[in-house]
């Protein structure tokens, strides 16, 4: 299975990266091919709402989203990896997600799998409610199959993250993936 990991953390080497690296290690050990796309390091502009794409591309903005689109449409799974920023995805990852509108049908027609990897300093029981709701709505709208979530509460520093159960949970999620059609 081919997996596109959309790394949405502007903090290279941070807590989100720890989860993503462990997920990738587990998935690759099971024979899956992973491509990590650091969307924060790419030239990605927000959707302008021009609708020239007609909701099925090409997008009128010529930037890094062309590479992201290609990676997603040649994959079997998309991983959304983001630290929690004010209870949602980072602005960089949200811009990528907003640009999905230029190829909605192509994404939804693939029957992609997906998962969510996220971390937050906060560990209140409601901390991840908004991002989980957004993720579930996105997955439902795009006809994806959720394979799981790692919600890293209390991961405010690298040491807090490394000493938590969440890197292991991400690794196990990656190792749990099976090949084959989802439909």
Could you read off the pLDDT of 91-106 as tens digits, one per residue? 999 999 999 999 989 9
Q: Which contiguous run of DSSP H or E holds residue 73?
A: helix 65-73
Buried b (16+ CB within 10 A) or exposed e, 12-37: eebbbbbbbbbbbebbeeeebebebb
**Distance between CA atoms of residues 6 and 68, nearest Å:** 8
Quote the pLDDT of residue 181: 52
Q: Give me the domains of the chain, ranges plus CATH numbers.
A: 2-176 (3.40.50.360)
Q: Write the pLDDT tens digit of every residue in 66-89.
A: 999 999 999 999 999 999 999 999
* This prediction's pTM: 0.95
Quote the pLDDT of residue 126: 96
State the Cα angle at 159 between 148 and 157, rounded to 5°. Answer: 75
Q: What are phi and psi of 159, to 5 degrees?
A: -65, -40
Q: Write the pLDDT tens digit of every residue in 109-155.
A: 899 999 999 999 999 999 999 999 999 999 999 999 999 999 999 99
Rounded mean pLDDT, 158-171? 97
Quote the pLDDT of residue 180: 61
Q: Which contiguous run of DSSP H or E holds residue 129?
A: helix 129-141
């Amino acid at each position: 299975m081919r997996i596109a990991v959309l790394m949405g953390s502007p903090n290279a080497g941070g807590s989100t990266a720890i989860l993503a690296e462990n997920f990738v290690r587990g998935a690759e050990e099971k024979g899956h091919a992973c491509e990590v796309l650091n969307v924060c390091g790419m030239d990605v502009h927000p959707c302008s709402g021009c609708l020239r794409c007609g909701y099925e591309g090409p997008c009128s903005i010529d930037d890094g989203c062309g590479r992201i689109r290609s990676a997603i449409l040649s994959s079997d799974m998309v991983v959304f990896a983001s630290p929690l920023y004010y209870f949602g995805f980072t602005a960089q990852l949200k811009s990528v997600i907003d640009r999905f509108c230029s190829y909605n049908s192509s994404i939804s027609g693939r029957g992609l799998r997906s998962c969510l990897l996220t971390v937050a300093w906060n560990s209140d029981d409601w901390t991840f409610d908004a991002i989980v709701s957004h993720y579930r709505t996105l997955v439902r709208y795009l006809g994806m199959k959720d394979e799981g979530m790692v919600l890293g509460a209390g991961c405010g520093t690298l040491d807090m993250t490394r000493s938590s159960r969440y890197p292991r949970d991400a690794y196990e999620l990656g190792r749990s993936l099976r090949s084959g059609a989802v439909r």
